[in-house]
Structure 1
Amino acid sequence: MEYRKLGNTALELSTITYGAFAIGGTMWAGNDQKDSIEAIHASLDHGVTTLDTAPFYGFGLSEELIGQALKGKDRTKVQLLTKFGLVWDGSNQGKGEHFFDLPVDGKNVAIYKLASKANIIKEVEESLKRLDTDYIDLIQQHWPDASTPIDETMEAMESLIQQGKVRAAAVSNYSLDQLKEAGNTFVPAANQVAYSMLNRSIEKDLVPYTVENNIGIIVYSPMERGLLSGKYFQNEKLKADDHRNGYFGQFDLEKVKTFLESIRPIAEEKNASLAQLALRWTTLQKGITIVLAGARNAEQAISNAQAMSLDLSAEELSFIDGELRKL
């Protein structure tokens, strides 16, 4: 495993980071809690020291599972990354910026973006309890919230650092303009954004800015939620309540399939999977600090960690880029 410094912080994070969205179950057609904990343990055993979660993932379940998985582990050897700013419980309904309605157990649950100072303090205390820890290594605003001034959010995060409840603070899904505005009050350690072989929009303006200003980029959805693994072109079926049934619709699936077949020989030559190739490619792109990779079981977790062992030559990277330009 390789470890990288995050922006202007003292944090050293594993380049492949365990992404804990799916183990929350919500939007992912449920989960197996035993398998989830085994996936976290397998990640730790194979050099992954960084775990990224959020209260929204399973409405607290993802954080709770991480807290359980870390019992008896050396807390100083693990970096916990979590978030705030997506609220769903009755006390917050109607506050903040309405985001979307999520079907849960036959009824719609309204989800709001809320990044006020009071809510940040509340959510951090709840996360500390669920994670069973007394500090968070990196707190992140999950989504921009138009109902709260950015400077209020930044001041609150800076205060949490001063209190010792978090070691560093970052944002997620911020545009370049929002990131610049945040920097007028407090420079975030990183921006967590979507990025993959199929989604490279951040390369135009966000990457140059973050590189110039020593701000990290944390990547989510590097495998486009499993699409780049190729297995969904091989009779892999999704459950009816899996959000990916709709998510995959944004892509020209025939072109994606052709692309994956074109790069498959590179993976096979290295005795690797397409998923591992996609992960390793992502870690090698300019400005990318760490890459989140989800795993529902130990086998997937080990495979993700081992992606870092792939050695991609300049010629192979050039070939992949050439195939991507055909999409």
Structure 2
Amino acid sequence: MPRFNIDKEDRKPLGNSGEYINAIGIGTWNIYNYRNAEEALSSAVEMGINVFETAGMYADGLAEELIGRLVSKVGRDGIFIVIKILSYNLTNEESAIKAVQISLKRLRTSYVDLLLVHGIHELLSISHQIRILEMLAERGYTRYIGVSNFRLKELKEAIESTRKYRIVVNQVTYNILNKKIEKDLLPFAIKNSILIQACSPLGKGSVIKHPLLIKIADVYNKTPAQIALNFIISRPYVMAITKTEQKSHVMEIKDAMGWRLDERDIELLESL
């Protein structure tokens, strides 16, 4: 039996908010060709992929500007925007508001759907950072709040620090060659209805080169990347954030959904 129940849905619950989003979203970290990326993202929206993740620190704002151009092209209502704010910008309300307003200007929108604190600040308490996030939500800058790269202890503290809003997402590294979160973080997230956003689901290319993945891909007539992504989204309360700047890869991402690996192959991948 697989370690976790197989989630066969291609829409993932956003915490316990009652809202569901795509099982696979597209990130904008480390893009090389922004013109190609803009075409790819527009194509993604046409194919029904509408979750996009970005941050002000990605290429000094160029990635956010990319999403802003997408907003102008396809409209704001049709896409779900996730951004991350550096924890040092959460020192005080003024600093946080300024940082978010700069991002919103680049994004050509008045709000984002999900705002994540980017990593742990060694000098700022987690409770302070969460209070600042909640302030930003109360002022209408974001609909939901979450965290990234929080370990179990830190996630628990973040949850305990909330007052009006709930932590709906924790973005962490997760792929078939890096399953550290399966020990305690993922079981906790499932139990507490917190969506895991798996970044680096392809391991920066290392995952898709694995012989077992290639072998399984041949059986399903899929690409190794599709097998890797499908494994990730087969987990309850887990979605994947992957990068593409090629229109041809958008269809590959889309076709990673709509089916599931069988139990035997999931177990084989769990053994890695």
* Fold-level similarity (TM above 0.5): yes
**CA separation in 1, counterparts of 2:128 and 2:48?**
37
**CA separation in 2, counterparts of 1:297 and 1:50?**
17
1:167 aligns with 2:143: yes
* Off by >3 Å, runs of 4+ in structure 1: none
Partner of 2:170: helix, strand, or coil?
strand
Question: Which stretches in structure 1 are left out of the alignment for 5+ residues?
Answer: 24-30, 87-112, 231-259
Aligned partner (choices 220, 232, 243) of residue 294 of structure 1: 243
Partner of 1:156: helix, strand, or coil?
helix
How do 1:234-273 and structure 2 match up within 5 A? 260-273=210-223
Counterpart position of 2:184: 205
Does the Cα contact within 8 Å between 1:22 and 1:296 map onto a contact in 2? no
Does the Cα contact within 8 Å between 1:196 and 1:223 map onto a contact in 2? yes
**CA separation in 1, counterparts of 2:246 and 2:196?**
26
1:313 aligns with 2:253: no
Partner of 1:183: helix, strand, or coil?
helix
Aligned partner (choices 9, 13, 29) of residue 17 of structure 2: 9
**CA separation in 2, counterparts of 1:266 and 1:228?**
13
How do 1:56-67 and structure 2 match up within 5 A? 56-67=57-68
Partner of 2:267: helix, strand, or coil?
helix
TM-fit CA distance, 1:10: 4.4
How do 1:99-248 and structure 2 match up within 5 A? 113-117=88-92, 118-186=94-162, 187-230=166-209
**CA separation in 1, counterparts of 2:222 and 2:33?**
26
TM-fit CA distance, 1:279: 0.6
Larger Rg: 1
Q: Deviations over 1:7-65 (max 9, x none)?
A: 02244211110111122xxxxxxx11210101111211222110011111111000001
TM-fit CA distance, 1:184: 2.0
Counterpart position of 2:84: 83
Question: Which stretches in structure 2 are left out of the alignment for 5+ residues?
Answer: 1-8
Number of residues of Structure 1 aligned to a counterpart in Structure 2 = 260
TM-fit CA distance, 1:210: 1.4
Q: TM-score, normalised by structure 2?
A: 0.90
**CA separation in 2, counterparts of 1:171 and 1:43?**
25
- Give percent identity, aligned residues only: 29
Instruction: Give the AA of the match of 1:267.
Output: A
Considering only aligned residues, what root-mean-square deviation do their CA atoms show, in Å? 1.7
Counterpart position of 1:281: 231
